[in-house]
Amino acid sequence: MLLSQSFIMRIKSKKFIIFVSVIAIFSFAAIKLFLDGYRLTPVSAAHCIRFTQPIQQNLLLEHQISSDLVFYLLDTGDSYHTIYSCRVGPLWKSYYGVGSNQSKNGDIIELQTKFWLDEANVGWIVSTSHDPNVASFKISYGGKIIEANTLKNEPTVIIVPAPDTVLSGMDIGFDAVALSKDHVVLYRLTYLMEKYHVTTDYRWHPVLQD
């Protein structure tokens, strides 16, 4: 009888050790995922992005590209950036959109971000017009045209999917213009060139009318 009770106690003890070990492993994995920025929702994952310098961060826009990808426009006070969240199994992980930063420059049309994600073969442009004469934005690329109506002082999002024949819809034959209600080109998104040298940042520039 004593032998039987001792055997049962050893079995229970082993089960308890296994149970504690499993809990410890899962707890360690959960903590590791949390510290690495994995979250249950895309927006909570986006809030995990931190810059080297402590700055105020404000998510201005959210745009769902697909069930596995969400783009965010981040305002850091003096500039804008793209943050994107990707689904990883049941969780979400966010990343900084390299090359997406745009400084605030007080332009009549603000280019807030322009970003291309190779892995998803899609990009976006976010602009805000403070010119009441601007009625829409039109983007031409790879033989395709996308036009989006806009309102004064309201951010306008244009999603740019890549045509099957090109690697990036934003790099090959890409042209973006701001139009009046009569479809007159008022601004163009470009660099200003002097001979063969770039003289300004990539931004919305007024188009001289004849």
183-210, pLDDT tens digit by residue?
A: 999 999 987 766 666 566 788 999 876 5
Burial class, 54, CB count within 10 angstroms (exposed 0-12 / middle 13-18 / buried 19+): exposed
Read off the tokens for 33: 């995922």
Average pLDDT of the segment spanning 28-33? 72
| Confidence (pTM) | 0.78
Query: In 150-206, at which residue ranges do the beta strands (DSSP E only) sit?
Result: 155-161, 175-179, 185-190, 193-194, 197-198, 203-206
Q: What is the pLDDT of residue 199?
A: 60
- Mean pLDDT check: name the lowest of 129-133, 139-143, 157-161, 164-168: 164-168
**Strand 203-206 relative to strand 185-190, pairing:** antiparallel
Percentage with pLDDT > 90 across the chain: 38
H helices of the chain, in order, are 2-35, 42-46
pLDDT at position 128 over 50: yes
135-158: burial string, b at 16+ Cβ within 10 Å, e else: bbbbbebbeeebeeebeeeebbbb
For residue 40, what is the DSSP state? Answer: S
CB 109 within 8 A of CB 204: yes
pLDDT band with cut points at 50, 70 and 90 for residue 6 = low
Please report which confidence band the pLDDT of residue 2 belongs to, taking 50, 70 and 90 as the band edges.
very low
What average pLDDT does range 57-61 have in this prediction?
A: 84
Phi, psi angles (nearest 5°) of residue 189: -85, 110
pLDDT at residue 73, as a whole number: 93
* Confidence at 57, pLDDT banded by 50, 70, 90: confident
Average predicted confidence (pLDDT) for the chain:
82
* 147, pLDDT greater than 50: yes
**68: helix, coil or strand?**
coil
Residue ranges of the alpha helices (H) in 1-138? 2-35, 42-46
Cα(33)–Cα(39) distance, integer angstroms: 8
| Cβ neighbours of residue 90 closer than 8 Å, sequence gap 6 or more | 40
Q: What is the mean pLDDT of residues 89-103?
A: 89
pLDDT exceeds cutoff 90 at 58: no
pLDDT range class, residue 180, cuts 50, 70, 90: very high
137: confidence class by pLDDT, cuts 50, 70, 90: very high
